[in-house]
Amino acid sequence: MTILISIIVLSVLVMFHEFGHFIVAKLSGSRVNEFSIGFGPRLFKKKYGETEYSFRALLFGGYVALEGEDEKSNDPRAIVNKPWPVRLAVFAAGPLMNILLAFLLLFIVFFNIGSPIPQVKSVMEGYPAEKAGILPGDKIVMVNNIKINTWEELEKAISSTKDKEIQITIERDSNIITKDIKPVFDKQSSKNMIGIIPEYKRSLPWAFTNAIDKTVYFLKMIVITLGMLIGGKVSANDIMGPVGIVYTIGTVAKTGLLNLMTFSAFISAYLGLFNLLPFPALDGGRILFVLIEAVRGEPVPPEKEGYIHYIGFMILIALILFVTYRDVLRMF
C-alpha cells in the first residue's frame, strides 16, 4: 500500500511538471512527439494525432519529447526553430507548474483546516482564561478597548503585553462582559498567552494567503538547503533519493491525507526549484542556453547543446544511483 501511494503521488507530481511543458509547447504551435510519464520500458502507449502518450516502468521522472529539442530539424514547428522567448516559456513551464501545484495542494489543506477566529472553542486547564471565567463559545471583541476582528489581532494584542494585566471584552449570549486577565509566558510557544483554543472557520481568502506564504516558505527553505549543500555545510549523504522519498511518503500517508498533501506540496516545490538550477539536462540548463542565445544574438549549435545535456543527464543518473544507495543503507 505504501508503494502504491508513493507511486500515485510521484506520478501526479511528474505529470503536472510534464503537462506544463506539454501545454505551453502545444499552445505555441511546437511539435510534440511524445508525452511520457516515467522512463524505461513502455507499459502503455497510445497515439493521438502527432503525439504518442506513454506510461513507462520507472516512474521517478518523465519527459516531453519535442521535435528538434537536441538537434537540428527542418520542421518549421520544431522547438529549435521557434523564437527564443517561446523556448524560454516552454522550458520554464514545467518547474513553474510544480510550484503552482504546491500552492494548489496547500490551498486545499488550509481551506480544509480552516482559519482560527477570535471565538473560544475550549479553555486550557490552569491558565488565566479558565481562572477568569472565560467559557467555550465566548467571542472576544476587544482587548484594552481596541476592536478585535481576527485571531491574529488577538494573538498580537495578548503577546505584546509585558507582565501587565489586560482588559478583555467578550460577547456571550448577546451580553457584553469585561474580564481583567494577566497573560502568562508560555515557554513552548515563547509568547504570552491566556490559554484559549480558537474556533476555526473556512475562509477562501485566508486559505489563499496562507498557501502563498507556505509555498514561499518552502521555496526559501529549499534555496537555503541547496546553498548549504553547495557550500559544504550539508553532507551529500543527507540528500534524500527516490527510495527515501517513497519511504517518507508512505510514512507521512499514515498520519492523514492533509499531512500527505502538505508533504507532496513540499516535494513538488522542490522538484520545481531543483529543475530550475542551471545544470545541463535540467530545465534550468536549457533555459541557460536560451538566455545565452538572447544575449549573443545566435544560438549554440543544437548538436553541441544536445551533447552537453547528455553529459549532464549521465551525471544526474550517477547522482540518483548514489543517493539511492545511501537511502538503502540508511533503511537497512
From the CB of residue 299, how many other CB atoms can be counted at a distance below 10 Å?
Answer: 16
DSSP 257-280: HHHHHHHHHHHHHHHHHHHTSS-T
130 is catalytic: no
Phi-psi region of 190 (alpha: psi -120 to 50; beta: other; left: phi over 0): left
Cβ neighbors of 154 (< 8 A, separation 6 or more) are: 118, 140, 143, 148
Q: Which three cell numbers stand for residue 74?
A: 527542418
Choosing from 18, 69, 199, 305, which is the catalytic residue? 18
Contacts of 44 by beta carbon, 8 Å cutoff, 6+ apart: 54, 55
Contact in structure between 14 and 62 (CB atoms under 8 Å): yes
CB atoms closer than 10 angstroms to residue 162: 8
- Backbone phi, psi, residue 192, to 5°: -75, 145
**Residue 126 half-sphere exposure, CB side, CA atoms within 13 Å?**
1
Q: State how far the Cα of 47 lies from the Cα of 54, in Å rounded to an integer.
A: 9
Q: What residues have CB less than 8 Å from 95, skipping those under 6 apart?
A: 17, 20, 271, 272, 273, 275, 276, 283, 284
Contact 57, 43 (CB under 8 A): yes
Please enumerate in sequence order all residues whose Cβ is within 8 A of that of 204, keeping only pairs 6 or more positions apart, or say none.
111
Catalytic residue list: 18
